[in-house]
């Protein structure tokens, strides 16, 4: 299988190459995702700051606390993010991988994202954007940033003829930020309260 550095941006199987006549202005391809990303991050932060934290939200049966639920969901998201990292290397041919690596990459990403969404909703609804200590401040900041960066990544996927380094860069950023978010929340929770459900 030939290695196409733009494989991740293409459908699977890849669609025919775009007609040469149709070329969009270069800036818009980056501007729109960047603006959407900024809007998402700022909107989340503003909501978290403005909404009076409820202090609580509904809990799932079988878990001792909403924090435990969140920690496990976040850990699930992080585990799938690791799959993302490995499968991305496969898609780009840096690691040997199966032919369904792009599908694996796509679906592990979706699962990771959908697992992270309820966590973020709880954070923003029940706790809000807080800055009372460094761990909390970084978590709040990066949490908002993550969903902005993820939106940008999704929108960039729809653009064609991107520089080859752009998607890996944004994808890597999303992964690093998610890792930092996990370290400042779920890992901290497990270390402080023990690995409980």
Cα–Cα distances (Å) from 137 to 66, 75, 122, in that order, read 20, 20, 17
Cβ-contact 148, 177 below 8 angstroms? no
Whole-number minimum distance, CB 98 to other proteins, in Å? 20
Cβ-contact 177, 145 below 8 angstroms? yes
Cβ contacts of residue 131 below 8 Å, gap of 6+?
137, 140
Residues 84-123 as x/- pattern, contact with other proteins by CB under 8 A = ----------------------x--xx--xx--xx-xxx-
Give the Cα separation of 66 and 72 in Å (integer).
Answer: 10
Whole-number minimum distance, CB 176 to other proteins, in Å? 20
Whole-number minimum distance, CB 154 to other proteins, in Å? 4
Q: Which of 35, 43, 94, 193 binds other proteins (CB under 8 A)?
A: 193
Cβ-contact 111, 178 below 8 angstroms? no
Whole-number minimum distance, CB 104 to other proteins, in Å? 14
| 67 is a contact residue toward other proteins (CB under 8 A) | yes
Instruction: Kindly state the tokens that stand for 112.
Output: 């990771």
Give the Cα separation of 189 and 72 in Å (integer).
Answer: 10
Stretch that binds other proteins, among 80-88, 149-157, 163-171, 173-181 (CB under 8 A): 149-157
Residues binding other proteins (CB under 8 A): 10-11, 15, 18-19, 22, 53-59, 61, 63-67, 106, 109-110, 113-114, 117-118, 120-122, 125-128, 130, 132-133, 151, 153-155, 157-158, 192-193
């Amino acid at each position: 299988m030939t290695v196409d550095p733009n494989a991740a941006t293409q459908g699977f199987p890849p669609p025919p190459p775009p007609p040469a006549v149709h070329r969009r202005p270069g800036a818009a391809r980056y501007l729109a995702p960047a603006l959407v990303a900024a809007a998402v991050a700022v909107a989340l932060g503003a909501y978290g700051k403005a909404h009076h934290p409820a202090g609580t939200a509904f809990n799932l049966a079988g878990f001792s606390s909403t924090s435990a639920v969140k920690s496990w969901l976040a850990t699930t998201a992080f585990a799938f993010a690791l799959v993302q990292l490995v499968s991305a290397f496969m898609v780009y041919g840096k690691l040997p991988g199966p032919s369904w690596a792009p599908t694996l990459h796509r679906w592990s990403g979706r699962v990771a994202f959908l697992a992270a969404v309820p966590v973020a909703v709880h954070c923003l609804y029940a706790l809000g954007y807080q800055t009372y200590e460094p761990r909390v401040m970084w978590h709040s900041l990066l949490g908002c940033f993550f969903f902005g960066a993820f939106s940008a990544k999704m929108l960039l996927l729809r653009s064609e003829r991107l520089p080859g380094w752009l998607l890996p860069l944004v994808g890597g950023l999303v992964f690093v930020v998610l890792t930092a978010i996990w370290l400042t929340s779920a890992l901290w929770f497990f270390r402080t309260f023990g690995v409980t459900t």
